Amino acid sequence: MDFFYSPEQILLRDTVRRFARERIAPAAAAIDRDDVFPREIYRGLADMGLFGVALPEEAGGVGMDTTTACIVMEEIACGAGAVGNMYALPVESVLMLHAHGNEVHKAWIPKLLDGSAVPATAVTEADAGSDVAGMRTTARLDGDHYVIHGAKAWVTFGGVCDFVLVFAKTSPEHGNHNISCYLVECDRPGVRRGANEHLMGMHGLEDCEMSFDNVRVPLANRLGPENQAFRMAMANFNVGRLLMASMALGMTRAAFEDAQRYARDRRQFGQPIGAFQAVQFMLADMATEMDAARLLIHHAARLHDAGQPIAKQAAQAKLFTTDMAMKHVSNALQIHGGAGYSRHFRVERIFRDVKLSQIYEGTNQIQRLIIARAIEKEAV
């Protein structure tokens, strides 16, 4: 892909690749084992300016673009999927606050960029996952405040965030037409964090339920126009999906590199297992589909950077990449034989981590729905 990248993108990619090899990958097993937010590594990403990579310079960012954020994500996630996951949140949050925020919201951007503040986003509820419009959390107007009441599920960074972007309805009846978004500082009375979820993988994300018990926030905390948050969230999901796809791609690359090395070293029947065509073909398919995934991701990212709509392309990139990742990380584990099933080899962790990419930022069934609707509209 170097042919398509600018010299600045190549320099940044190589710098992040070094950081991922030297700092992230060696810490990955401990993050997985301890399941605690690795604040030092998070600050390390911030120190490199990576959270503002797609943010314009006049807003304090690096002034590059979504394509570059995808390049960076692939490198970070190649070091550790969970750290890639952590990278996505501040990148998406600064873009959201910059695009829709007033002074109250924008005051958080420098703190997000330097890693001193941690964001979270709360859309999902126990009974409203794929069906976002089914959410029950309400925001009632009371004088110069909104009163937010409800409970959110699966909040990534819920245990450590300084503020959370809460999506809530002004009345629960009207489908997705009256959802607004509110920045809620976590030190406000009534904000409660649940216990951390025991996740299969992606440890260190401090994922938990959060409840909002009549939490009062000033009118100025509403992000963007009233009742427009569904549209805002969907637009933000497009970038989120490209980042999740890049994250899955980075994890697949790590599994591929390990499988290729293992296939050279491991001998059976008097020869390296990599001499067997069955193993070679698994590696060949991995290499081919990783390249195809990267092309899909970067095609969508470039369209986005050029101001084009990408709902279909982002869904296709996320669907293809995360399904291919699940398949090929499983094959990489298979190439390790019994060893792959043990915690001595990181492919076991990657296998657990990568599964999440098919589930969140819209499940892959929902991605197919988006694609199906888009191609129906395109049909002549």
Ligand X SMILES: Cc1cc2nc3c(=O)[nH]c(=O)nc-3n(C[C@H](O)[C@H](O)[C@H](O)COP(=O)(O)OP(=O)(O)OC[C@H]3O[C@@H](n4cnc5c(N)ncnc54)[C@H](O)[C@@H]3O)c2cc1C
Which residues are identified as catalytic? 361
Counting Cα atoms < 13 Å in the Cβ hemisphere of 257 gives 10
Q: Return the residue nearest ligand X (CB atom).
A: 129
Three-class DSSP category at 302? helix
CB contact at 8 A, 374 and 311: yes
**Element (DSSP H or E) covering residue 202:** none
Task: Give Dmax over CA atoms of the chain in angstroms.
Answer: 80
Q: Which window, 29-37, 225-233, 311-319, 363-371, contacts ligand X (CB under 6 A)?
A: 363-371
Do residues 301 and 316 lie in contact, with contact meaning Cβ atoms separated by under 8 Å?
Answer: no
Write each residue from 303 to 342 as x if it is in contact with ligand X (CB under 6 A), else as -, in one continuous string. ----------------------------------------
DSSP string, 64-124: --HHHHHHHHHHHHHH-HHHHHHHHHHHHHHHHHHHH--HHHHTTHHHHHTTSS-EEEE--
Give me the amino acid identity at 178. Answer: N
User: Does 122 interact with ligand X (rule: CB under 6 A)?
Assistant: yes
Asked if residue 129 binds ligand X (CB under 6 A), the reply is: yes
Residue 363 binds ligand X, judged by CB under 6 A: yes
CB-wise, 45 or 356, nearer to ligand X? 356
The residues, ordered by sequence, that sit 6+ positions from 313 with a Cβ below 8 Å of its Cβ are: 296, 299, 300, 303
* From 123, 184, 215, 297, residue interacting with ligand X (rule: CB under 6 A): 123
Contact flag: residue 156 with ligand X (CB under 6 A):
yes
Smallest gap from residue 337 Cβ to ligand X (A): 29
Q: Distance between CA atoms of 191 and 210, rounded to whole angstroms?
A: 7
Stretch of 121-129, 168-176, 181-189, 233-241 lying at the interface with ligand X (CB under 6 A): 121-129
Using CB under 6 A, count the residues that bind ligand X: 19
Structure-derived torsion over alpha carbons of residues 194, 198, 199, 201, reported in degrees to the nearest 10? 130
Query: By CB under 6 A, which span of 149-157, 219-227, 248-256, 339-347 interacts with ligand X?
Result: 149-157
Candidate list 67, 68, 93, 124; residue touching ligand X; CB under 6 A: 124
Stretch touching ligand X by CB under 6 A, among 50-58, 116-124, 243-251, 342-350: 116-124
Provide the minimum distance between the beta carbon of 356 and ligand X in the complex, in angstroms, as a whole number: 5
Question: Which tokens in the block code for residue 271?
Answer: 């020869």
CB atoms within 10 A of CB 166: 29
The single residue among 356, 357, 367, 370 that binds ligand X, judged by CB under 6 A, is: 356
Nearest distance, CB of residue 233 and ligand X, angstroms: 9
In angstroms, the CA 241 to CA 236 distance is: 9
Q: How far apart are CA 118 and CA 123, in angstroms?
A: 17
CA distance 125 to 377: 30
Q: Give the range of 3-11, 63-71, 115-123, 257-265 binding ligand X by CB under 6 A.
A: 115-123
Stretch that binds ligand X, among 19-27, 48-56, 68-76, 118-126 (CB under 6 A): 118-126
| Residue owning tokens 């988006």 | 370
Tokens of 229: 């948050």
| Eight-state DSSP code of residue 293 | H
| Least Cβ distance, residue 311 to ligand X (angstroms) | 16
* Residue 121 near ligand X by CB under 6 A: yes
359: phi then psi, degrees, rounded to nearest 5? -105, -45
Q: Is the distance from CB of 325 to CB of 354 less than 8 angstroms?
A: yes
Residue 240 or 340 with smaller CB distance to ligand X: 240
Q: What is the DSSP letter of 5?
A: S
Q: Which is nearer to ligand X, 303 or 359 (CB)?
A: 359
Which residue, 53 or 123, is less far from ligand X as judged by CB? Answer: 123
360 touches ligand X (CB under 6 A)? yes
In the stretch 200-239, what mask flags binding to ligand X with x, by CB under 6 A? --x----x--------------------------------
Residue with smaller CB distance to ligand X, 121 or 138: 121
**Options 37, 51, 108, 154; binder of ligand X; rule CB under 6 A:** 154
Residues that bind ligand X (CB under 6 A): 121-124, 129-130, 154-156, 199, 202, 207, 356, 359-360, 363, 365-366, 369
